[in-house]
Amino acid sequence: MPPETLVPGAVATEFVELARALLDATTVSEVLDRIVQAARAVVRGADMVSVTVRAPDGRFHTPVETDELATRLDGLQYDLDEGPCVEATRTPGPGLVGSSDLARGAEFPEWGPKAAEAGVRSVFAVGMFPDGAEPRLGALNFYSFSVAGLDGIDRDTAMLLAAHASTALAATEAHSAHAIKAAQLQEALRSRDVIGQAKGILMERRGITEDEAFDVLRVASQSLNVKLALVAETLASRRADL
């Protein structure tokens, strides 16, 4: 009788693929990008994922994300000094921080309602390194568009993903946060430019506001499961067809 064939589960398969992808990555930013893409794939309820990095001077920035809205909401937390991204870097223990209902919860009184207005209803963040000394290197952040959308999150999986990101950052020099930011600056500027072009096209053709144009791009990005900048680039390149 032939031996039984063991088939790995979806999460295990994703981690194997992540490990292969990390071996092929040549920069820290590539590693982090692979991690956030894998995180969105394996964490149930995660509509957007981002990485917060804490620079040596204590300032935060978001080098990678799966959706431009995540960067905007991360940045709002940095400005307010309130929210799961920043709290996860200084919360004792595993550094797990979240809210099931940002519109009604009391966890983040300033940031929470603003995030809810933007369409995000629940959030969960893990500090890097998990169980590390505070302040940590940063945080891995999960966003959901549903109330209680992350209540069933597998915390072990989230912490493993955060550990992957932590290892990538810890393996670099102390100024890695600045290096990551500098390495991505040119691409970020190009993305902002093409997003601006796409918003202008939508505003002109549909007679809508800048915020409404951004929402059109964001919804298309989420529906197609591609980066917002790619949606914008496609729209800008096919302007004559609209």
Residue 1 is assigned to a structural domain of this protein = no
Q: Measuring CA to CA, which residue among 148, 209, 158 is closest to residue 49?
A: 158
Do 193 and 158 share a structural domain? no
Residue 82 is assigned to a structural domain of this protein = yes
Pairing of strands 138-144, 122-128: antiparallel
For residue 155, give both structure tokens.
Answer: 């915390």
Residue 3 is assigned to a structural domain of this protein = no
- Mind listing the pLDDT tens digit for each residue in 7-57? 445 555 555 565 555 555 557 777 788 889 889 988 989 999 999 988 877
Residue 5 is assigned to a structural domain of this protein = no
Do 219 and 105 share a structural domain? no
For residue 60, give both structure tokens.
Answer: 């935060």
Q: How many domains does the chain have?
A: 2
Question: Quick one: pLDDT at residue 93?
Answer: 81
pTM: 0.67
Residue 153 is assigned to a structural domain of this protein = yes
Do 167 and 203 share a structural domain? no
Distance CA 72, CA 13 (A): 31
Residue 145 is assigned to a structural domain of this protein = yes
Question: Quick one: pLDDT at residue 6?
Answer: 41
E-assigned strands of 24-134?
48-54, 60-65, 96-99, 122-128
Which of 142, 172, 202 is at the close of a domain?
172
> What residue numbers bound the domain in which 190 lies?
182-241
